[in-house]
Amino acid sequence: MFTRRTLGGLALLPFLASRTNAGALRTSGPTLRVPEDFATLGEAVAQLPAGGGVIEIQPGAYREKLIISQPDVHLRGMGASPEDVRIVWGDSARTTPGLSNASTLVASGDGFRASNLTIENDWSIQNTDPSQAPALFLKADRAVLRKVRLLGAQDTLFAGSRNPLAPCRQYFAECYVEGHVDFIFGNALAFFDRCHLHVLDHGTGFITAHSRTAEAETSAYVFDHCRITTAGAGRYYFGRAWRPYARVVFLHTQIDGRIDPEGWREWTPGTTRTFETASFVEYASTGPGGDMTHRVAWAKTLTAPDVANWRLGRVFHDADWLQERPHGV
């Protein structure tokens, strides 16, 4: 049986984000409506001023690729559920150079928000050749996504940063993210709150591939009270370290699917040794896959007092930007 190291008394607070949130409470900006005011989402984005605004989207499938660079752009699905508004495209790394170019939606403007809609890359549905095909490429600070569905296969969600020494802060609440290989990847300081993570049928699958490159960097992925489901009979893991100092935390996870008993895997077993510096943490998992007694020896567990350091208010302790705004979502 493998044993785990305990992070009892570990001082985690120095890494938590404490940058200025100037402009976080913006309350002005136009509200544009699709398709009432503009036939396409791209036309609406192009008409937003430099300070951003809200785009209200009526139910329907919008097959287009979006690039949003303005700050404080808010996409609001106006349907009864996230399934009613679907933004979809089908590029991949095979069809266009660079993962951002292959993404259905790229958002780099700080203060980006989205709610009650679906962002999808359907490359894996339209093509049999496997390829990296992100649905959302997110490099925005103070980003908030609520009740958003992110659909893809490999590399579904890039939650990343422009500057690794000042990671983008990103908050996902009650979102659904599906994929199979490294389908949440990047180097943001991202908090997933009550989200549903679904692993598609695949031989081997990884939920996360975090890319923290140095101990001084303050990024991490934190999953709090999330649920994991899986399809098929493959070997599925919480994640592997894309870069040597990857940091991923799973708290109170309901595991209803087939997470491998070891939990985590080396990036390339027998070749890389990222496990020596990566920080993979789990606490109080439950459900059929929640048995933590057979995790890899280098996985970590928290003591109950340490868990408080990974709660939302400590990870984002300057979190006025999480609040609702009169013209936001």
Please report which helix (H) or strand (E) contains residue 167, including its range: none
In a domain, 216, yes or no: yes
In a domain, 159, yes or no: yes
In a domain, 94, yes or no: no
Question: Coil, strand, or helix at residue 107?
Answer: strand
- Mean pLDDT is lowest, of 46-50, 206-210, 300-304, for 300-304
In a domain, 198, yes or no: yes
State the catalytic residues.
155, 182
In a domain, 96, yes or no: no
Residue 45 has pLDDT above 90, yes or no: yes
Backbone angles phi, psi at 87, to 5 degrees: -100, 120
Q: Which residues, listed in sequence order, are joined to residue 239 by a DSSP beta bridge?
A: 208, 264
Q: Which residues, listed in sequence order, are joined to residue 236 by a DSSP beta bridge?
A: 205, 259
In a domain, 279, yes or no: yes
Per-residue pLDDT, averaged over 121-144, amounts to: 96
Per DSSP, helices labelled H in 84-212 are: 99-102, 123-126
In a domain, 124, yes or no: no
> What span, in angstroms and rounded, lies between the C-alpha atoms of 173 and 193?
5
**What CATH number corresponds to the domain at position 314?**
2.160.20.10
So what's the pLDDT on residue 124? 96
Per DSSP, helices labelled H in the chain are: 41-47, 99-102, 123-126, 304-307, 312-315
Structural domain count, the chain: 1
So what's the pLDDT on residue 260? 97
So what's the pLDDT on residue 309? 94
For residue 325, name the pLDDT band (cuts at 50, 70, 90).
low
Residue 107 has pLDDT above 50, yes or no: yes
> What span, in angstroms and rounded, lies between the C-alpha atoms of 223 and 282?
9
pTM to 2 decimals?
A: 0.92
Per-residue pLDDT reduced to its tens digit, 155-166: 999 999 999 999
So what's the pLDDT on residue 324? 63
Per-residue pLDDT reduced to its tens digit, 182-209: 999 999 999 999 999 999 999 999 999 9
Residue 312 has pLDDT above 60, yes or no: yes
Q: Which long-range contacts (CB under 8 A, 24 or more apart) does 269-277 make?
A: 274/240, 274/241, 274/243, 274/244, 274/246, 275/241, 276/244, 277/215, 277/241, 277/244, 277/245
Domain range for 300: 5-24+142-322
Q: Which of 237, 254, 153 is nearest to 201 (CA)?
A: 153
In a domain, 317, yes or no: yes
Residue 126 has pLDDT above 80, yes or no: yes
Q: Which of 133, 223, 210, 132 is nearest to 164 (CA)?
A: 210
So what's the pLDDT on residue 44? 98
| Cis before 35? omega within 30 | yes
For residue 319, name the pLDDT band (cuts at 50, 70, 90).
confident
